[in-house]
A and B are shown apart, each in its own frame.
Chain A
Amino acid sequence: MTITATKDDFTGTATSSANGAWNIGVPEQGTYTVELDESTLPEGIALAEGQENPRDVTFSQTSNLSVIFAFGEGIVVQQQDFGQNLLNRLVAGLSFGLLLALASVGLSLIFGTTGLTNFAHGEMVTLGAVLVFAFNALGLPFWLAILLALLGGGLFGYAQDRGLWRPLRRRGTGLVPMMIVSIGLALAVRYVIQFYFGGATQQLPYAQSPEIQLGPVSISPNNLWSLGISAVVIALIGIVLLKTRLGKATRAVADNPALAAASGIDVDSVIRIVWITGGMLASLGGILWAYYRPGVTFDMGSAILLLIFAGVTLGGLGTVFGALIGSIIVGIFVELTTVFGLAADLKYVGALFIMIVVLLFRPQGILGRRERVG
């Protein structure tokens, strides 16, 4: 398609390449009018609703500037009344918060039982989505791809503990060095994923999901599924932790590893199970995150790592139910800030800011125990 930029008596024209990129050189900084010739668009593609065309762009302090024309149905500019919008964002935030909780509950369990603040948890999230994409691309049925991705996540958790963290625990490596090791692991795994997956954004099957009206709320079926799945899984984890022998043993190890060993609990095997569970939960969170965004990228997990940390920290490091509540607060907060006028590209800022503020007044987090803070 053809794009034209004009200012005073200057006119520059460019034709976009196959991937939609275009470039117009201009003689000087200033305000230009950029227009997309809609008649040159490929058949079946229209400019997204609310996309200004032509539009004025100004650049004064840089030598280049991007102008993006968004296409398709997916990008619809919301024009709802405030209450409606609030409700929709609240539900979307709950859905987002619960998928964050999947990752943060695992992170919190790992922290609780081993003391490790795992910066590679974001990559465990990414792995789930990437594996679904890969298995699906290999021609496996969708359900099998998801199942294998969850298993892959569990296996990654197991391998991490077996190959790295358990030997380090045996050596008596301190918590701060382990944290830095986890950063190295995060970098290495992130770029291994990019090495094979590439830098592009890919979509999982059924990623297109137009919103439906459900009572007073409009929500996409994918979000609804995500909400339901994460709520059920987290409820299951909660029941396991509270009611079963293994769950109680896990809490016992998190509470007091030495005493757990003195009671006859095999602490290493409990930690191994925690890593496998954490890996599977992160994988599931990653798959749901790929639908929520939507899209799969090699750095999708590290993009929400800080939100996961924020959820865990808000709730109190090492408390599982705190991680759940913290994540829901973060999810809802991220979505609601846009309703109250914060720009969409700043929506993570609010969540990170609230985490810092909470730590200022309640360093142990919402549900944390005071003695956990040194």
Chain B
Amino acid sequence: MDFGFILSSAASEIFSPTTAAYALAALGLAVHFGYSGLLNFGQAGFMAVGAYGFAISTLTFGVPFFVGLLIAILASAVFALLLGIPTLRLRADYLAIVTIAAAEIVRYIVTTNQLTSVTGSANGLAAFEGGFYSMNPFPEGSYFGMNNRDFFIRVVGWALVALCCTLIWLLMRSPWGRVLKGIREDENAVRSLGKNVYAYKMQALIIGGVLGALAGMVFTLPRGAVQPANYGTELTFFLYTCLLLGGLGTVLGPVIGAMIFWVVLSLTQGILYGLIESGAITWLNTVQAGQLRYILVGVALMLLMIFRPQGVFGNKKELAFA
């Protein structure tokens, strides 16, 4: 078994674009759940709206990159509004069910054969990333063992993560953020101060949703394809695992959580595959090893929630629940 290879491929996950996408989306969930107490189970839907909003506007309407980006952000804001109007007044468990249902509605709609010409149905859309890579300032060559395209998307992805983290950090320190945390602790107390709780929640939902949409784009650009199967409910649950790994009411928590999530997944896969190839494990095949990782994710999510709900870096006082 080649430990060097296993370790280096695990290490490469730390700064992979997918990790950046998970970090952004989990940061969005931190705004929703960690800071505002909104139990959004539809983050995959926001990611799908962002990815499809960008891909469709690029392919169907032929708009340039930045217009596509703007459309994706606007689409996710509209989605947040549509979702927020009926649900933000509801109790947490209703909100969870409605948001997960809305995300699934998005997935069914981009999967249906009725809209194949626009969405590509189950096969999804591809070849929309040209506008992005044409802006690549890095000439061809090797950058830390990557080609210039891989390097560019990583730089952009992580710059975006850094920018968003800074913005959220500043926001949460602002009076606005303090009101939001107040809502999380005691909604009625904030309401009695004359604050419009509903408006604050809606703004938080939109901000977290836009982060989700950006994540959807970062997720989809390096793949050069967007496919509906990637945006199922499990994606949201993986994001919750990242969020809980890192810490709920923190800015860096989701980022570190996403890194841990992907490094651990890569490590377990590498080690399991290595053990299977070397014949040390015979009761598993490589397909089952892949499933074993999901079992681990599920168990990790349970154990984290039960024994360390504040996450690795979280503060127990910042928990949205007792």
Interface residues of A (CB under 8 A from B): 58-66, 117, 164, 168, 172-177, 179-181, 183-192, 194-195, 199, 302, 306, 309-310, 313, 317, 343, 345-346, 348-349, 352-353, 355-357, 359-360, 363, 373-374
The residue of chain B having its C-beta at the shortest distance from the C-beta of A111 within the complex is B93
Q: Which of B262-321 contact A (CB under 8 A)?
A: 287-288, 291-292, 294-295, 297-306, 309, 320-321
Q: Which residues of A have CB within 8 Å of B39?
A: 176, 179
Neighbouring B residues of A306 by C-beta, 8 Å: 97, 100-101, 104
**17 A-B pairs (CB sep. < 8 Å):** A61-B126, A66-B122, A175-B93, A176-B93, A177-B305, A184-B237, A187-B237, A187-B298, A187-B301, A188-B295, A188-B298, A191-B295, A306-B104, A310-B101, A343-B113, A359-B94, A363-B90
Minimum C-beta distance from B51 to chain A (A): 14
Distance A228 CA – B300 CA, assembled complex (angstroms): 42
**Which residue from B101, B109, B111, B309 sits with its C-beta under 8 Å from A355?**
B101
Interface check B186, CB cutoff 8 A? no
Give A202 to B85 CA distance when docked, in angstroms: 42
Listed from nearest, the 6 A-B pairs whose CB atoms lie closest are: A188-B298, A187-B298, A184-B301, A184-B302, A191-B294, A360-B86
- Contact among B59, B113, B304 for A61, CB-based, below 8 A: B59
A345 and B112 within 8 A (CB): yes
Question: Could you tell me which residues of chain B, from 78 to 103, have a CB within 8 Å of some CB in chain A?
Answer: 85-87, 89-94, 96-98, 100-102
* B65 adjacent to chain A (CB < 8 Å): no
- The reply to whether A345 and B97 contact each other, CB–CB distance below 8 Å, is no
Q: Looking at chain A's contact residues, is the secondary structure mostly helix, strand, loop, or mixed?
A: helix
A174 touches B123 (CB 8 A): no
Closest to B240 in A: A180
Cβ B305 vs Cβ A359 within 8 A: no
Say whether B96 contacts A179, CB under 8 Å.
Answer: yes
Contact A349 B109 (CB under 8 A): yes
Contact A177 B127 (CB under 8 A): no
Partner of B93, one of A173, A177, A179, A191: A179
Chain A residues positioned under 8 Å from B292 (CB to CB): 191, 195
Chain A residues within 8 Å of B120, by CB: 59, 61-62
| Contact between A186 and B309, CB atoms less than 8 A apart | no
Using Cβ atoms and an 8 Å threshold, which residues of chain B touch A189?
A: 298
State in angstroms the CA–CA spacing of A143 and B201 once bound together. 53
B-side contacts of A177, CB under 8 Å: 305-306, 309, 321
Chain B residues contacting A313 (CB-CB under 8 Å) are: 94, 97
Question: Binding site of B, secondary structure by majority: helix, strand, loop or mixed?
Answer: helix
Q: Which residue of A lies closest to B302 (CB)?
A: A184
Q: Is the CB of A348 within 8 A of B104?
A: yes
Cross-interface CB contact of A188 among B85, B96, B240, B299, cutoff 8 Å: B299
Find out whether the CB atom of B86 lies under 8 angstroms from the CB atom of A356: yes
A184-B305, A186-B298, A191-B294 known; A346-B123 Cβ under 8 A: no
Contact of A183 among B98, B240, B320, B322 (CB under 8 A): B240
Chain A residues in 8 Å Cβ range of B109: 346, 349
B301 touches A183 (CB 8 A): yes
Chain A residues in 8 Å Cβ range of B86: 356-357, 359-360
Chain B residues lying within 8 Å of A63, measured Cβ to Cβ, are: 126-127, 225
Q: Which B residues are CB-close (under 8 A) to A309?
A: 97, 101
Task: List A contacts of B297 (CB < 8 A).
Answer: 184, 187-188
- What residues of B have a CB within 8 angstroms of the CB of A373 in the complex? 90-91, 94
Q: Which chain B residue lies CB-closest to A168?
A: B306
Q: How far is the CA of A181 from the CA of B98 in the complex (A)?
A: 19
Most B CB atoms within 10 A — which of A62, A177, A180? A180
